[in-house]
Amino acid sequence: MVTLLIYDIADDKVRGKVAEVCLDYGLQRIQYSSFLGEMSRNRQGEIMLKLKRVIGQVEANVQIFPLCEKDLALRKQIVVKPREEK
């Protein structure tokens, strides 16, 4: 199932470690603190346990949203990439 994982963490070091865990689990970064990818319910629980250990006592807000294919198909996005300098 497609999963959206978002987080808000002020501590730079912890935030970087959380991003590494997301990438290790095969999620793709779609914004600075947002990741998207295929993840079973078991893997969702597993990553949340791992993130809880990584975060420790640092103030954080991590949320996972399972998305059905129908809802994902309705997604709209605007992506503007910076121009290459000549």
Indicate which CATH number applies to the domain containing 49.
3.30.70.240
- Asked, for residue 78, whether it belongs to a domain, the answer is no
Give the contacts of 29 (CB within 8 A, at least 6 positions apart). Answer: 19, 22, 23, 35
pLDDT digits (tens, 9 = 90+) for 10-55: 999 999 999 999 999 999 999 999 999 999 999 999 999 999 999 9
Question: Whole-prediction pTM value?
Answer: 0.88
78 pLDDT above the threshold of 80: yes
- Asked, for residue 69, whether it belongs to a domain, the answer is yes
Residue 26: phi and psi, rounded to 5, are: 85, 10
Cβ contact 56:64 at 8 Å = no
Widest distance between CA atoms in the chain: 48
- Asked, for residue 82, whether it belongs to a domain, the answer is no
Domain count, the chain: 1
Exposure of 34 by Cβ count < 10 A (0-12 exposed, 13-18 middle, 19+ buried)?
middle
